[in-house]
Amino acid sequence: MSLKAKIVVIGCGISGIAAAHRLVKAGYHQVWILEATARSGGRIKTCTLGDNIVEMGANWIHGPSEKNPVFCMARQYGLLDPEALTPENQAMDVGGHPPWVPNFFSSSGRKLNAEDIYPAQEMFFELMYESSEFESEGGEPWASVGDFVRSEVQQRAAEKWKDIDATTRSLRLCAISNMLKVECCVNGTHSMDQVGLGAFGLYKTLPGLDCTFPGGYEDLVQNLISELPSGSVTYNRPVRCVHWNNTEKRENPVMIECDDGESITADHVIVTVPLGYLKKHHSTLFRPPLPLHKLHSVQRLGFGTNNKIFVEFDSPWWDADCEVIYLVWEDEDVMVDQVPDVQRSWIKKLFGFTVLKPTERYGHVMCGWIAGHESEYMETLSEQEVTHTVTQLIRRFTGNPTIAPRRVLRSQWFHDPWTCGSYSYPAIGCSAQDLDNMMEPLPTKGSLLQPLQVLFAGEATHPCYYSTVHGAVLTGWREADRLISHYSSSISPSEPPK
């Protein structure tokens, strides 16, 4: 067993931190993290809006229960509210769709009767469940989740809602458009027409009602970083190229070239850069380049944009118990989740707002959600333009021309050069094999070269919890364990056989 192995982790997001933490706890003392930016956390990013804490990236612990490593660590560090710890909360199985109290508003400035919309919601959730049952077996009735939903709603609505008046029926179809936009945010995709029906079911949920970090998600990051030896992380150190198979010798076969011209040699490198970054930079990031099957999986898997627009008000204009506000456009009964003219009507893609609760902690703050190319366009606008458009939107839907936000703050994940989007999803044509290929170390199995030179972690390498923080943590631990078990079962490269 060689605790002397020199291991470099690229990226100080939660997967990189989890990998380094595991290795250090196992006794490895030559573990370094190289991070491109000036901060830890990556897509975990807690900011403030006035006096309030807001999360620009990850928001919730999805499925906070015993099998969720994020929940277990947060509990151990004492970072959660008491109700998140209760057995009832952990046992609640909501299949990824928390039962939030909704308010519906329409583009003609009316608050809609929720009872009119519920049958559409019920039908939509049924279809989401059915979409996840196809399991990549081939022969699915449609290529994408979007196509499947549209076709099934048409059929089922014709049968189930045949006695409903035309206005309510049309409104329900408009609400389905809204629900497709919600799913675009959940899946981090431009359109549900890009999400593969066969692969949709690869994603698995955990039991537990989603909860947040009262002090901010970054509390988890700080706790873990504080347990690494000081100096473990080098900030503002972007990696330009990983030269693997660098030497004929068994010693330090990897050379990591940084943007500032520095080069670092290592026995192993764990790459945790986001899939969006990999898609853009794979050709310059690896020498020799990625093997073709791995490259094809990088290209096939989806990586889209989901952004938030936080809006603060002096007083609420929603019901006291309201947890989510849905905005239903009355001209969208053809079940669409993309706008025809992005520059003119990008705001139509924003599905609505989640209300930050409890009010005593967050004040009157809501979080708007917008996915896809419309979201990417929004990032290019000035803060004033975004504020103006959001204000007009709220005035139109509430019919109240005097509503004015106090502050607005939005995320810009697509234009973040180290992320290039938000998170991964199974695009059309993807299968479980692509996620397997993503996590496969280099050189690939069967090679006579020095093994485990380049390992891959990060949310997009988890077979069923991709797109989440707990998925990212598990991949960091997985790659650390891969090295630990390698050294516990073989002779170390830095200790050649005598």
Residues found near ligand 6YU in the complex (CB under 6 A):
10-16, 34-37, 42-44, 57-60, 62, 96, 186-187, 203, 238-239, 272-274, 277, 306, 308, 411, 413, 418-419, 422-423, 458-459, 467-470, 472
Q: How far is the CB of 174 from ligand 6YU (least distance, A)?
A: 23
**How far, in Å, CA of 10 to CA of 35, rounded?**
6
For residues 68 and 450, which CB has a smaller minimum distance to ligand 6YU in the complex?
Answer: 68
Q: How far is the CB of 167 from ligand 6YU (least distance, A)?
A: 31
Max intra-chain CA distance, the chain: 85
Q: How far is the CB of 214 from ligand 6YU (least distance, A)?
A: 15
Q: How far is the CB of 55 from ligand 6YU (least distance, A)?
A: 7
SS3 388: helix
SS3 368: strand
Q: How far is the CB of 452 from ligand 6YU (least distance, A)?
A: 20
Q: How far is the CB of 441 from ligand 6YU (least distance, A)?
A: 17
**How far, in Å, CA of 84 to CA of 106, rounded?**
34
**Is the distance from CB of 168 to CB of 111 less than 8 angstroms?**
no
For residues 16 and 216, which CB has a smaller minimum distance to ligand 6YU in the complex?
Answer: 16
For residues 186 and 408, which CB has a smaller minimum distance to ligand 6YU in the complex?
Answer: 186
For residues 98 and 291, which CB has a smaller minimum distance to ligand 6YU in the complex?
Answer: 98
For residues 157 and 278, which CB has a smaller minimum distance to ligand 6YU in the complex?
Answer: 278
Which residues are bridge partners to 74 per DSSP? Answer: none
For residues 37 and 144, which CB has a smaller minimum distance to ligand 6YU in the complex?
Answer: 37
Q: How far is the CB of 276 from ligand 6YU (least distance, A)?
A: 9
Residue from 68, 9, 84, 85 nearest 40 by CA: 9
**How far, in Å, CA of 439 to CA of 361, rounded?**
40
For residues 2 and 59, which CB has a smaller minimum distance to ligand 6YU in the complex?
Answer: 59
For residues 131 and 252, which CB has a smaller minimum distance to ligand 6YU in the complex?
Answer: 131
Q: How far is the CB of 371 from ligand 6YU (least distance, A)?
A: 10
Dump strand ranges (E) for 288-406. Answer: 302-304, 306-312, 324-328, 352-355, 365-371
Angle value at C-alpha 285, between 279 and 287, nearest 5 degrees: 125
Which residues are bridge partners to 263 per DSSP? Answer: 257
Helix ranges (DSSP H) in 132-231: 145-160, 166-187, 218-226
Q: Looking at this protein, which amino acid is placed at residue 317?
A: W
For residues 134 and 277, which CB has a smaller minimum distance to ligand 6YU in the complex?
Answer: 277
Residue from 59, 320, 57 nearest 214 by CA: 59
**What's the alpha-carbon Rg for the chain, to the nearest Å?**
24
Q: How far is the CB of 117 from ligand 6YU (least distance, A)?
A: 21
Residue closest to ligand 6YU when measured from CB atoms: 13
Dump strand ranges (E) for 11-125. Answer: 31-34, 46-49, 52-55, 102-106, 111-112
> Could you give the strand order of the β-sheet that contains 102-106, starting from the edge strand earlier in sequence?
111-112, 102-106, 324-328, 352-355, 365-371, 306-312, 407-410
